[in-house]
Structure 1
Amino acid sequence: MPQLPFGGIGRSGTGAYHGKWGFEALSHRRPTLVKPTWPDPSLVYPPYAETTKRLLRKIF
């Protein structure tokens, strides 16, 4: 069945790590942060000062 991962050859399963399923089994997924290239204002990140809170309340 083409939907099942390749199980390798023989009783040992040699070759089971080839292909997409093997890549997924041996990979570790990690999150990434994509930051814009323009200046990033620090007022959008906590901790917020009182003046920043007032400004953000007016904006939103």
Structure 2
Amino acid sequence: MILSRAICVHTAVLTTNVPLSSWGTILNSTTTAEAILYRLVYHSHVIKIKGKWLCPYNGVN
């Protein structure tokens, strides 16, 4: 509820490297994932960026 109120008044930026379709698996509940995603993407712009990840992670580039 706090996030819902804040997003209506302010700007929020959320980044993830997990596809939205996998959130149900990660949260062990598709219902919870759908509720969270509905509130996050309502009146939002989803920008999907494809390409090579340039930041090193665990020594792998």
**Bigger relative contact order (CA 8 A; separation at least 6):** 2
For the pair shown, the structure with the greater C-alpha radius of gyration is 1
Q: Counting helix residues as a fraction of each chain, which structure ranks higher?
A: 2
Q: TM-score, normalised by structure 1?
A: 0.22
Q: TM-score, normalised by structure 2?
A: 0.22
